């Protein structure tokens, strides 16, 4: 029985990964899911995961060394998703990014070393490379993160690598592009714009709206992590992406078209500080091992938009409390 320690498994990608593992391996695995349940962690994301010996939720902080040590015993594979993940928040208040994204990763690495885990997958991000106007970053390119979020992720990324070099911990690092899909907190571009459009609220477009991101369906990200766990080489970095590069205006057009909403909802607002113009990763390395995304962008986007349309119970309550207070305080505007 393979035992996973998944951190941040009540968040967007982590909860999708828990669903992915249980659907695929069912009775053959055990998952210990440690999540602090910050504003972004949500047990609704796991509501259809049956209570069983195969998934155990632990409400806890990855910075808590005693708790992490206790749950690391007997673990085969660590997948570290836990992080503060929103760039805008890191601009307003970087403290928790440094604590969780860097120190939390350190606590996990130490415990993994002590307990001799067989694989430690550090979920990094394509943002660690910084912006690129043309071409695509390979895994060997240098890191030039530009926000407190991406800088903290770069710190954890290199710290994980150092545990491979120095202590021989079997670490693999993944750097994925922008994800979309169900259960994404409605502060990120796609769920924010879909849920705003559904209630006829403005869609706040930063700057000129021509920043480019490469969009990957979340289940393809989960599939790539599982693939790398089995076929990747320790000490290596793997870029993950789908090559679906779109401007924010193009994403906005798709959302308005699918929801049959007017373009008058589009509102240009002040740009994000230090806003990276374009992300692009070369995914030749993981593709050469045999992985490729399974979902078409068009279909998975329509599925995603429909999911938010069908599940207002999931997002409506998230758009009233802490989320709204954060935006009002930091941007002096309602959404
Ligand atoms: P998210 O914000 O939706 O989820 C983060 C989860 O981590 C939440 O459940 C939160 O409660 C938990 N958490 C935060 N601090 C914690 C702590 N100290 N201890 C335990 N749990 C804690 O984030 P996401 O979008 O699902 O991203 C998951 C990971 O993937 C992050 O590491 C992020 O950097 C990385 N990533 C995200 C994307 C993307 O497009 N969303 C792309 C590439 C990489
Ligand atoms: O590239 C991977 C990264 O993708 C992950 O590491 C991060 O955790 C994840 O949050 C995401 O970062 P981005 O900054 O690219 O995502 P976000 O959804 O915040 O913004 C996407 C683009 O949309 C970006 O150019 C900013 C723009 N935007 C975003 C918001 C929230 C707007 O124009 N208006 C908005 O209200």
Tell me if 279 CB under 6 Å of ligand 2.
yes
Are residues 249 and 182 in contact, defined by beta-carbon separation less than 8 angstroms? no
Of 282, 273, 144, 294, residue with least CA distance to 219? 294
| CA dist., res. 129 & res. 154, Å (int) | 8
Of 79, 38, 40, residue with least CA distance to 61? 38
| CA dist., res. 6 & res. 14, Å (int) | 7
The predicted-structure confidence for 139-179, as pLDDT tens digits, reads as follows: 999 999 999 999 999 999 999 999 999 999 999 999 999 99
334 has pLDDT over 60: no
Return the number of other C-beta atoms located less than 10 Å from residue 148's C-beta: 21
The predicted-structure confidence for 230-247, as pLDDT tens digits, reads as follows: 999 999 999 999 999 999
Ligand 2 center–CA 88 separation, angstroms? 8
Ligand 1 center–CA 90 separation, angstroms? 13
Smallest-distance ligand from the CA of 155? 1
- pLDDT reported for residue 255: 98
Phi, psi of 300, deg, nearest 5:
-70, -30
Residue ranges around ligand 1 (CB below 6 Å): 7-8, 10-14, 34-38, 40-41, 61-63, 81-85, 100, 104, 123, 125, 153, 176, 178-179, 185
Are residues 112 and 104 in contact, defined by beta-carbon separation less than 8 angstroms? no
Tell me if 196 CB under 6 Å of ligand 2.
no
The runs of H, that is alpha helices, within 54-174 are 65-72, 87-92, 95-96, 105-115, 148-167
- Residue 172 token pair: 């693999």
Ligand 2 center–CA 240 separation, angstroms? 17
Ligand 2 center–CA 287 separation, angstroms? 25
- Residue 53 token pair: 């010996």
Q: Which residues are catalytic?
A: 126-127, 149
The residue written with tokens 């290199």 in the block is 158
Tell me if 125 CB under 6 Å of ligand 2.
yes
Residue minimizing CA distance to atom 10 of ligand 2 = 86
Atom of ligand 2 minimally distant from the CA of 248? 23
CATH of 2-330, picked from 3.40.50.920, 3.30.70.120, 3.30.420.40, 3.40.50.720, is: 3.40.50.720
* DSSP assigned state of 214: E
Of 239, 205, 187, 201, residue with least CA distance to 40? 187
DSSP per-residue codes, 202-253: -EEEETTS--EEEEEEHHHHHHHHHHHHHH--TT-EEEE----EEEHHHHHH
Distances in Å between the Cα of 61 and the Cα atoms of 73, 108, 129, 163, 285 are: 17, 11, 28, 21, 33
Ligand 2 center–CA 114 separation, angstroms? 36
Q: What is the mean pLDDT of residues 285-308?
A: 98
Atom of ligand 2 minimally distant from the CA of 88? 19
The answer to whether the predicted template modeling score (pTM) of the entire model surpasses 0.95 is yes
The predicted-structure confidence for 10-68, as pLDDT tens digits, reads as follows: 999 999 999 999 999 988 999 999 999 999 999 999 999 977 889 999 999 999 999 99
Residue minimizing CA distance to atom 11 of ligand 2 = 178
């Amino acid at each position: 029985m393979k035992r996973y320690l998944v951190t941040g498994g009540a968040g967007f990608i982590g909860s999708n990964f828990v669903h992915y593992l249980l659907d695929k391996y069912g009775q053959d695995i055990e998952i210990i899911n440690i999540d602090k349940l910050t504003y972004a962690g949500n047990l609704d994301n796991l509501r259809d995961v049956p209570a069983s010996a195969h998934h155990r939720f632990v409400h806890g902080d990855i910075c808590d060394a005693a708790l992490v040590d206790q749950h690391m015993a007997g673990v085969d594979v660590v997948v570290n998703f836990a992080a503060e993940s929103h760039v805008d928040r890191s601009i307003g208040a970087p403290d928790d990014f440094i604590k969780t994204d860097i120190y939390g990763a350190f606590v996990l690495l130490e415990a993994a070393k002590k307990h001799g885990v067989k694989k430690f997958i550090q979920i990094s991000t394509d943002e660690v490379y910084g912006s690129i106007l043309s071409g695509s970053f390979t895994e060997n390119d240098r890191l030039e993160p530009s926000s407190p979020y991406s800088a903290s992720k770069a710190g954890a990324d290199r710290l994980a690598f150092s545990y491979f070099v120095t202590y021989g911990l079997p670490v693999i690092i993944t750097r994925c592009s922008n994800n979309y899909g169900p259960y994404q907190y409605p502060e990120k571009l796609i769920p924010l714009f879909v849920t705003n459009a559904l209630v006829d609220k403005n869609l706040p477009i930063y700057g000129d709206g021509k920043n480019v991101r490469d969009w990957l369906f979340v289940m393809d990200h989960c599939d790539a992590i599982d693939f790398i766990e089995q076929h990747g080489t320790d000490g290596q970095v793997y870029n993950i992406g789908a090559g679906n590069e779109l401007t924010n205006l193009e994403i906005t057009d798709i959302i308005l078209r699918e929801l049959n909403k007017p373009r008058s909802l589009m509102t240009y607002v002040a740009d994000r500080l230090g806003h990276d113009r374009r992300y692009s990763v070369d995914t030749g390395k993981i593709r050469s091992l045999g992985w490729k995304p399974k979902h078409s962008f068009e279909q998975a986007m329509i599925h995603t938009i429909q999911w938010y349309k069908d599940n207002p119970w999931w997002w409506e309550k998230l758009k009233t409390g802490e989320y709204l207070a954060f935006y009002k305080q930091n941007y002096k505007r309602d959404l």
